[in-house]
């Protein structure tokens, strides 16, 4: 089992400079995600879902408030500390998988291990087993152009999980897939979440998928909660 990381934010704010002023995107987000939880992040386009994921994943910095990932506050740490945390502990899955076209499925999954180093045999073994787990054991040597959209997205999930991250951040990972394939890809992610125990935060517009998460966190007007009250009042779904 992977040790899933908890995620806690308190009064988290993010503004972007705009002309002479600034635009407030996150206006005080307070939330708590338990280790191993699979949370769907919903909200209209522009609500700040990607912005929040980027801050949680240390890709971007907040403008105020507190962020704790695995009880660590990385907001004020220098960039190299954040980058090392990110490489070690965070796996990203994006809407457009960003696979490298000239590499095979297996090589694409191995990319994080090339960047971070570590024993090659172990990475090879894990990459193969993840791809098999994703139903792609027969596609290891295919390049992205030789894979369907759903298959490419499954490769991207395997890549995100290679280094056994405690936190997986998925930004519309099924956004460009058909309904059936979306459900299939989501279900595989959920199965891996159950088997391996990493925490997953998944931004989605798909309400059917959101309903299958342990919990939904809804963003509205820069705040959390269905009414944008700033408090998260949704409750965990019953265990299935
Ligand atoms: N670098 C930036 N500079 C200025 N404004 C930005 C920047 N990045 C995002 N924004 C603004 O922040 C708001 C939230 O954007 P974000 O991408 O987080 O929304 P989202 O909820 O992910 O939307 P979508 O569902 O369309 O992906 C938007 O209004 C956007 O214009
Ligand atoms: Mg977005």
Specify the CATH number for the domain of residue 25.
3.40.50.300
170 secondary structure, DSSP code: E
183: part of which helix (H) or strand (E)?
helix 179-196
The residue behind tokens 């959209």 is 149
Q: Which of 117, 173, 125 is nearest to 150 (CA)?
A: 173
Residue nearest to atom 26 of ligand 1 (CA): 45
pLDDT of residue 6: 97
Instruction: Tell how far the Cα of 73 is from the centroid of ligand 1, in angstroms.
Output: 24
Is 94 domain-assigned?
yes
Q: Which of 180, 240, 233, 174 is nearest to 212 (CA)?
A: 240
Instruction: Tell how far the Cα of 104 is from the centroid of ligand 1, in angstroms.
Output: 33
What is the tally of structural domains in the chain? Answer: 1
Is 231 domain-assigned?
no
Residue nearest to atom 18 of ligand 1 (CA): 48
Best residue among 13, 14, 21, 46 to mutate for probing ligand 1's pocket (most ligand atoms within 8 Å of CB) is 46
pLDDT in single tens digits along all 240 residues of the chain: 878 999 999 999 999 999 999 999 999 999 999 999 999 999 999 999 999 999 999 999 999 999 999 999 998 899 999 999 998 899 999 877 789 999 999 999 999 898 877 788 899 999 999 999 889 999 999 999 999 988 999 999 999 999 999 999 999 988 888 888 889 889 989 999 999 999 999 999 999 999 999 999 999 989 997 544 444 544 444 444
Is 209 domain-assigned?
yes
Is 233 domain-assigned?
no
The CB of 48 under 6 Å from ligand 1? The reply is yes
- The helix/strand/coil state of 210 is helix
Full-model pTM? 0.91
Residue nearest to atom 28 of ligand 1 (CA): 46
Query: Residue 151 contacts by C-beta under 8 Å, 6 or more apart in sequence?
Result: 105, 136, 139, 142
Is 121 domain-assigned?
yes
Is 165 domain-assigned?
yes
Instruction: Tell how far the Cα of 25 is from the centroid of ligand 1, in angstroms.
Output: 7
The CB of 95 under 6 Å from ligand 1? The reply is no
Pairing state between β 199-203 and 90-93: unpaired
Is 171 domain-assigned?
yes
Is 235 domain-assigned?
no
Q: Which of 16, 14, 13, 8 is nearest to 32 (CA)?
A: 8
Instruction: Tell how far the Cα of 84 is from the centroid of ligand 2, in angstroms.
Output: 24
User: By residue range, what is the domain housing residue 171?
Assistant: 7-224
Angle between helices 120-133 and 149-161 (to 10 degrees): 140
């Amino acid at each position: 089992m992977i040790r899933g990381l908890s995620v806690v934010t308190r009064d988290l704010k993010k503004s972007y400079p705009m002309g002479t002023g600034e635009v407030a995107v996150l206006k005080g987000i307070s939330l708590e995600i338990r280790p191993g939880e699979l949370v769907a992040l919903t909200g209209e386009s522009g609500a700040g879902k990607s912005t929040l994921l980027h801050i949680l994943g240390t890709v971007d910095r907040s403008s105020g408030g507190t962020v704790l990932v695995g009880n660590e506050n990385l907001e004020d740490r220098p960039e190299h500390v954040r980058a090392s945390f990110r490489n070690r502990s965070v796996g990203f899955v994006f809407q457009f998988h960003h696979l490298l076209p000239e590499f095979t499925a297996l090589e694409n999954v191995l990319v994080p291990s090339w960047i971070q180093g570590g024993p090659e045999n172990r990475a090879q073994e894990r990459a193969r087993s993840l791809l098999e787990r994703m139903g792609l054991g027969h596609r290891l040597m295919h390049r992205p152009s030789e894979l369907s959209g759903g298959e490419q997205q499954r490769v991207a999930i395997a890549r995100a999980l290679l280094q056994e991250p405690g936190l997986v951040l998925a930004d519309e990972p099924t956004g460009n897939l058909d309904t059936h394939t979306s459900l299939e890809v989501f279900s595989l992610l959920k199965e891996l979440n159950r088997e391996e125990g990493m925490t997953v935060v998944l931004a989605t517009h798909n309400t059917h998928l959101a309903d299958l998460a342990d919990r939904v966190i809804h963003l509205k007007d820069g705040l959390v909660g269905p009414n944008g009250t700033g408090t998260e009042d949704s409750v965990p779904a019953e265990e299935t």
